[in-house]
Amino acid sequence: MADFDLVQFDLDGTLIDSVPQLADAISAMLSKLGLATQSVNAVRGWVGNGADMLVQRALTAALGQAPDAALQQQARSMFDEAYANHADGSLVFYPGVLSTLEQVRASGMRMALVTNKPYRFVPGILAAAGLGSHFELVLGGDSLAEKKPSPAPLLHVCRQLDISPARSLMVGDSENDVLAAKAAGMAVAGLTYGYNYGRSIADSQPDWVLDDFAGLASILKL
C-alpha cells in the first residue's frame, strides 16, 4: 500500500522556474519608481515569502533602507500590474515535472497546491501550464491569514480533503515548505534546484532530498 493519499505541492522553484518573470516584474516596478534595477540572481534570493516580502526586499536593496508604508504599497501595485502581464507567459517547468504529475494523477493519489504567491496569479499560471484540473485545492499566500512557514495552509488542505497529515506528503524547494510540513506533522521532500535564499535545502532536514522531480515516483511508490 502507498504511504500517502495526498501530495501537497509548492509552485515556485518546485514546479516552475518563475524567477525570470518575477525579476522582470521587479525591474519594471523599480524602473517606474526611478530606482536602480537589481540582478536576477538577487531576485532569486528574495523569493519565498510572497509578493509583499519580495517587493520589500527589492526596495530595500535599491534604496539602501527599508521603504515606508506608502512607497511599499505603491510599489506592490506596480509589481502586481507588471507580473499580471508575465505570469502566464513563457512558463518554464523543471525537468520531469509534467510527466511525474501525470503519473501521480493516474495513480489516483490526491493532489493540492500550496504556494506563497498571491492567489490572483495562480489560476492563470496553472491554466497556461495545462494543470488547471490537477489540483483539488489551490491556496495562495493570501488565501488564509497565515502563509508558509506556518503549517496553517497545509493543515487547512488536510481538513478540507479529510486526509490526515500523517498520510500527506509536502513537496517543496524552500525551508518554508519544510518548516510548514514539519509543524503540520507531515513528511516532506525537498528539491535542491529551486530557491532557498541561496542555502541548501538539506540544511532544513526534509525527509527526502531530491535533485530531480521524477524522484518523487519512488517516494510515492508509483
Q: Please provide the DSSP assignment of 136-196 as one string.
A: SEEE-TTSSS--TTSSHHHHHHHHHHT--GGGEEEEESSHHHHHHHHHHT-EEEEESSS-S
Residue 204 binds ligand PGA (CB under 6 A): no
Q: Which residues bind Mg ion (CB under 5 A)?
A: 10, 12-13, 173-174
Instruction: Decide: helix, strand or coil at residue 9.
Output: strand
Pattern 52-81, ligand PGA, x by CB under 6 A: --x---------------------------
CA-based nearest residue to 10, from 214, 146, 144, 175: 175
Instruction: State which of residues 7, 11, 62, 216 lies at the interface with ligand PGA (CB under 6 A).
Output: 11
Give, in order, the Cα–Cα distances in Å from 60 to each of 6, 20, 36, 67, 159.
39, 20, 11, 6, 38
Q: Is 80 a catalytic residue?
A: no
Which of Mg ion, ligand PGA, none sits in contact with 117, Cβ below 5 to 8 A by type? ligand PGA
Is 67 or 194 the residue whose CB approaches ligand PGA more closely?
A: 194
- Kindly indicate which of the ranges 47-55, 70-78, 95-103, 156-164 contains the residues binding ligand PGA, using the contact rule CB under 6 A: 47-55
- The reply to whether 68 sits in an annotated binding site is no
Residue ranges binding ligand PGA (CB under 6 A)? 10-13, 47-50, 54, 115-117, 174
List residues with catalytic annotation.
10
